[in-house]
Structures are given as structure tokens and as C-alpha cells.
Amino acid sequence: SQGLMKGKRGLIMGVANNRSIAWGIAKAIHAQGGEIAFTHQGDALKKRVEPLAAELGAVMAGHCDVTDESSIDAVFETLEKLWGKIDFVVHAIGFSDKDELTGRYVDTSPANFAMTMNISVYSFTAIARRAEKMMTDGGSLLTMTYYGAEKVMPNYNVMGVAKAALEASVKYLAVDLGPKNIRVNAISAGPIKTLAASGIGDFRYILKWNEYNAPLRRTVTIEEVGDVGLYMLSDLSRSVTGEVHHADSGYHVIGMKAVDAPDI
Ligand code: NAD
């Protein structure tokens, strides 16, 4: 181990199971000597996250549902007592009613629009505000986004609109927190079969399409996204803030379908 994260401690939010992008990032951070605390959303996920935390010698910092501000406060109070300061936070959280991740965007309901924006966008800002107080030696905040923020992807709908707002908030937060040497970035990951992704209509088709058409002719793994996360959270990226970095086998640069995809 080169120890790129040696002496750094931080919070990783959004592990649901061992297929989560947050778990890929956690493994990369741990391999480079970083110390990690996880949150979990509810008792059902606690049972899944606990053994994963044990694997990395990570701390369970408690339940956090980002729609409940008091549960966010409780997590940061726990970290304050445990470590006093932190160096990084990973926000790998998103949610929308799966009934609205299919069909037309125009049919989005006001209730689901507000919920999707609250959980998938506002929560990053709510977390950044609390993290700022504990990042007394500077720090790195990282969130996860998708190409559906930039271009219309089938069925992504309200989540695409939310990711566009999330990417804009990365820039505003980068300006607010930059003077404290706190960096704010996003990774725009290519499609990966996770729990959250299974709510998106025709997701298998999107995966195949990316595999056939991305310049690298393959989809990405959570380990690959994890390594990009390592770069964003370590001092390797110390000059980088306000950035949306694609980890998508290059898919975002293509203007036309590159090859035939006979079996989709
Ligand atoms: P995942 O299902 O493993 O993780 C989603 C996480 O969000 C879960 O841990 C869940 O507990 C958490 N979450 C949802 N609502 C919450 C709430 N109210 N409070 C607290 N936590 C809540 O799926 P994933 O694909 O690893 O998703 C992580 C992030 O990556 C999401 O922001 C997602 O949009 C983004 N992303 C995913 C892909 C993909 O193809 N899988 C691509 C690009 C970006």
C-alpha cells in the first residue's frame, strides 16, 4: 500500500450492500490507509453494512435518513466525539419513486419531484454544511452523478433533473468552501447494476448500450469508480474543485452510436 489516505478519516454515506458504489470507494480508501465511518439507512440495511464495516475495520456512525435532519445531526455529533475532525465525506445517495423512473418526464408528480430533489440534491448541501465545521484542516467532499444530468436518457426522468441540480450545487459549494481548502467534486459514473439502478426502467438495455458504444467498449465497475474516488479524496487531486469527473469508459464523448449492438 502506498498509503495515499494515511492519516485521513472520513464518512462514507450510501452503502446498501457490496454492490454499492460507496462500497467500491470505501475499499479503495481502506487499501490506501484511510479510516472510514459508515452510515446506514434503517435497520434492514444495518445488517448488511455491519459486516462490510467489519471487513475494513470501519466505524458504524449510526442510522441516517437524509429526510430527517436530526439523524444527520446525530451522525456528525458521533463523529465529533469520535474523531474531532474529518478529512472527507462521500455522498452516494439518491432516490426517486420507481413508478416515475419510467415513461415520460412530463408526468412527474409534485410530491415525487420534491422528494427526489430533497434526498438526491439538498442532502449533499445539508451534509456539506455540517462537514465544513469538522474540516478544520481542509477536506474533500464527493458526490455521485450521472450523464442523465447532461443529456436526456430514457426513463431517467426526474432523476436527471435532480442530477443537473446536484452538479450545479457542486459548483456553488466549491466556491463557498474553497477558502477553507475544502474541495467539492462529483464523479459521473457510467451505469452499474446496483440496488438503486434496478429501479430505473430498462436498465439492462442501458448497460448493454454503454458496453457496445463506450470508447473502451465496456461498462465500469465499482472498483474502477472507487479508484477515481480515491483520487478525488486524496491529495492527488488537491488542485481540483467544482469538477464533475466522468468515470464512464468515455461514453460521454461519443456523438453517434459506434458499433452495432446485435443482441439488444
Ligand atoms: P445503492 O442502492 O447501492 O446506493 C444508494 C444509497 O442511497 C443506498 O445506500 C440508500 O440507503 C441511500 N439512500 C436512499 N435514500 C436515502 C435517504 N433518504 N437517506 C439516506 N440514504 C438514502 O446504489 P448506487 O448505484 O451505488 O447509488 C449511489 C449513488 O450513485 C446514487 O447517487 C446514484 O444516483 C449514483 N449513480 C449510480 C449509477 C449507477 O448506474 N448505479 C451511475 C451514476 C451515479
Residue 169 lies in domain: 9-247
Task: Write down the pLDDT at residue 225.
Answer: 98
- On whether residue 3 sits in a domain, the answer given is no
CATH code of the domain in which 144 resides: 3.40.50.720
Ligand 1 neighbourhood includes 16 CB (under 6 angstroms): yes
The confidence band for 1, taking pLDDT boundaries of 50, 70 and 90, is low
- On whether residue 198 sits in a domain, the answer given is yes
Best residue among 93, 185, 188 to mutate for probing ligand 1, ranked by most atoms within 8 Å of CB: 93
| Cβ-based neighbour number of residue 49 at 10 Å | 23
- On whether residue 120 sits in a domain, the answer given is yes
- On whether residue 236 sits in a domain, the answer given is yes
- On whether residue 172 sits in a domain, the answer given is yes
Residue 226 has pLDDT above 70, yes or no: yes
Average pLDDT over residues 84-98: 98
- On whether residue 102 sits in a domain, the answer given is yes
Task: Write down the pLDDT at residue 84.
Answer: 97
Ligand 1 centroid, distance to 124 Cα (angstroms) = 12
How many domains is the chain built from? 1
Residue 152 has pLDDT above 90, yes or no: yes
Whole-number percent of the chain with pLDDT over 90: 92
Task: Write down the pLDDT at residue 259.
Answer: 66
Whole-number percent of the chain with pLDDT over 70: 97
ipTM of the prediction: 0.99
Residue 258 has pLDDT above 80, yes or no: no
Best residue among 19, 20, 101 to mutate for probing ligand 1, ranked by most atoms within 8 Å of CB: 20
- Active-site choice (105, 122, 147, 156): 156
The confidence band for 98, taking pLDDT boundaries of 50, 70 and 90, is very high
Average pLDDT over residues 243-251: 98
Q: pLDDT (tens digit, 9 = 90+) per residue, 17-71?
A: 999 999 999 999 999 999 999 999 999 999 999 999 999 999 999 999 999 999 9
Q: How far is CA 260 from CA 100, 211, 212, 217, 256, in A?
A: 30, 11, 7, 12, 11
Task: Write down the pLDDT at residue 83.
Answer: 98
Residue 260 has pLDDT above 70, yes or no: no
Residue 122 is a catalytic residue: no
Measured over the CA atoms of residue 33, residue 34, residue 39 and residue 40, the dihedral's sign is negative
Task: Write down the pLDDT at residue 256.
Answer: 81
Residue 201 has pLDDT above 90, yes or no: no
- On whether residue 252 sits in a domain, the answer given is no
The β-bridge relationship of strands 59-63 and 88-91 is: unpaired
Task: Write down the pLDDT at residue 261.
Answer: 64
Helix intervals (H) in 135-218? 157-177, 203-213
Residue 263 has pLDDT above 90, yes or no: no
d(CA 73, CA 50): 21
Asked if 49 contacts 14 with a C-beta cutoff of 8 angstroms, the reply is no
Q: Is 0.95 topped by the overall pTM? A: yes
The confidence band for 202, taking pLDDT boundaries of 50, 70 and 90, is confident
- On whether residue 260 sits in a domain, the answer given is no
Average pLDDT over residues 129-156: 97
Lowest-pLDDT choice from 37-46, 78-87, 251-260 = 251-260
Residue 166 has pLDDT above 80, yes or no: yes
Locate the ligand 1 atom nearest the alpha carbon of residue 14 and give its number: 9
Q: Whose CA is nearest to atom 19 of ligand 1?
A: 65
